[in-house]
Structure 1
Amino acid sequence: MRLDKFLKVSRLIKRRTLAKEVAEQGRISINGVEAKASTNVKEGDELAVRFGQKIVRVKVDQLKETTRKEEAGEMYTLLGEERIPEN
């Protein structure tokens, strides 16, 4: 599954176009490697997404084409959040 679609379906990012823009800015990495919106995501991959002043790390548990709001959280496990110190 494409990275931008996974982020939308899992509701980590609300819109696919926004997920694409975040990836193009170099703010997403998969297993420590910077990822594009079209990069394939597999179960077991670890994603790091930078939102403003924090980085959210998740592990991909499931891949589903569609999901209900209540089930979206089952697609990943939150590994941690860390704040980026302001310069």
Structure 2
Amino acid sequence: MRIDKYLKLTRIIKRRTIAQEACDQGRVSINDKVAKASTNVNMGDIIQIQFGEKLLKYEVLDIKEHVKKEDTESLYRML
């Protein structure tokens, strides 16, 4: 699954276009490598997102195409 779609699906970032912009600006990395919006995410990957002064880290636990809002927390773990 693409990183921009994964961020939107898990509701880490609210909109896919904003996730794409964050990737284009180099603020998203997967396993310490800068990620483009089309970069694929795999289970076990570590995603880092730079929000201003904050650096947020997430571990990918599961990947699903469709998920309910209540179940999004089971797809990742905040580090």
TM-score, with length taken from structure 1: 0.89
Shift of 1:39: 0.1
In structure 1, stretches of 5+ residues that fail to align are 80-87
Number of paired residues?
79
Runs of 4+ in 1 over 2 A off after TM superposition: none
In structure 2, stretches of 5+ residues that fail to align are none
Instruction: Verify: 1:46 aligned to 2:46, yes or no.
Output: yes
Specify the alignment match of 1:56 in structure 2. 56
Q: Percent identity?
A: 49
Specify the alignment match of 2:23 in structure 1. 23
Q: Distance in 1 between matches of 2:66 and 2:14?
A: 14
Q: Distance in 1 between matches of 2:65 and 2:52?
A: 28
TM-score, with length taken from structure 2: 0.97
Aligned CA RMSD, in angstroms, stands at 0.6
